[in-house]
């Protein structure tokens, strides 16, 4: 299985519009972060977790010509705003896109992309096949077995996902012991790490490190990174062994 980090930034992306801080003005490509998303490839099938505002560019950058499924963590705009662009795959593949989302998230999709669910359908709108998911029921998407993992994004329950030995959590702040147990045994773990100072709805860098060390994966990558965390090179030099900052375009083999 191959995992590609399509984006590793927070909701504003990096650089942030109008910001001239050292991170936003950095010339290091690893400091350029699109909105967070990953692509999982397994036995010729591809799925994407979240379609943020940068989804179209991410697909073009990675030269993706076919896509089998989309899985959503939650309904915030930086995770769903690019869904309309699955139209290109509808056209190329001649079928609806399989969409896996919690029923609450589906309601948000139906509001934001109401035209895709209208009774009177116009030519060229996205074709979407919705599938219910929740924290208690593993499912299969694009031929890959998926274990949902519930975390709290402040008070909002959202989903992370485990694909075999790989686990992906973004936008988490707290996680129950029962859900944390689902992460045990992961060889590769991904956690959000927004910034160093306290935040109401995201793990800080320190909180992510503590959780990573508790889970004990062979390798942990940090994502959903804000410009205030610091430059990629500087923060990387401070991290414990086995923990690294992810960056856009990073591809790992599981």
pLDDT digits (tens, 9 = 90+) for 77-102: 999 999 999 999 999 999 999 999 99
- Write down how long the chain is: 254
Structure tokens at 133: 């998911």
- Taken in order of first residue, the domains within the chain and their CATH numbers are 2-253 (3.60.15.10)
pTM given for the model: 0.97
pLDDT attached to residue 122: 81
Indicate left, alpha or beta for 31 from its phi (over 0: left) and psi (-120 to 50: alpha).
alpha
Name the nearest CA neighbour of 23 among 229, 246, 241: 229
Structure tokens at 74: 């939650």
pLDDT attached to residue 61: 98
pLDDT attached to residue 123: 82
Which single residue is written with the structure tokens 């980090």? Answer: 5
Structure tokens at 87: 């139209």
pLDDT attached to residue 88: 97
Q: Kindly report the CA angle at 137 between 132 and 140, in degrees rounded to 5?
A: 70
pLDDT digits (tens, 9 = 90+) for 177-219: 999 999 999 999 999 999 999 999 999 999 999 999 999 999 9
Contact 79, 73 (CB under 8 A): yes
Name the nearest CA neighbour of 171 among 181, 161, 183: 161
pLDDT attached to residue 120: 83
Query: 194-222: b or e for each residue (b if 16 or more CB lie within 10 Å)?
Result: bbeeebebbbbbebbbebbeebebebbbb
Q: Residue ranges of the chain with pLDDT lower than 70?
A: none
Under DSSP, is residue 183 helix (H, G, I), strand (E, B) or coil? helix
- Bridge pairing between strands 219-223 and 128-132: unpaired
Who's near 16: CB < 8 A, 6+ residues apart? 24, 227
**CA–CA distance, 52 with 171 (Å, rounded to integer):** 13
């Amino acid at each position: 299985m191959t995992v590609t980090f399509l984006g590793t930034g927070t909701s504003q992306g990096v650089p942030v519009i109008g910001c001239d801080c050292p991170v936003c003005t950095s010339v290091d490509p690893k400091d350029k972060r699109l909105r967070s998303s990953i692509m999982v490839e397994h036995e010729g099938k591809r799925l994407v977790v979240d379609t943020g505002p940068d989804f179209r560019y991410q697909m073009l950058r990675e030269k993706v010509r076919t896509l089998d499924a989309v899985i959503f963590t939650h309904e915030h705009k930086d995770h769903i705003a690019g869904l309309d662009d699955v139209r290109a795959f509808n056209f190329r593949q001649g079928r609806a896109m399989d969409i896996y989302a919690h029923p609450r998230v589906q309601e948000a999709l139906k509001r934001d992309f109401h035209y895709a669910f209208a009774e009177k359908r116009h030519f060229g709108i996205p074709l979407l096949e919705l599938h219910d998911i929740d924290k208690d029921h593993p499912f299969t998407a694009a031929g890959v077995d998926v274990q949902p993992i519930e975390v709290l994004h402040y008070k909002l329950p959202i989903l992370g996902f485990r694909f075999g030995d790989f686990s992906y959590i973004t936008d988490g702040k707290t996680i129950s012991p029962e859900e944390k147990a689902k992460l045990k045994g992961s060889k590769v773990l991904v956690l959000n790490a927004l910034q160093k100072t306290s935040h109401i709805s995201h793990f800080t860098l320190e909180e992510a490190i503590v959780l990573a060390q508790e889970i004990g994966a062979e390798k942990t990558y940090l994502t959903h990174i804000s410009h205030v965390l610091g430059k990629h090179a500087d923060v990387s030099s401070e991290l414990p062994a086995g923990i690294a900052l992810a960056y856009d375009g990073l591809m790992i083999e599981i």
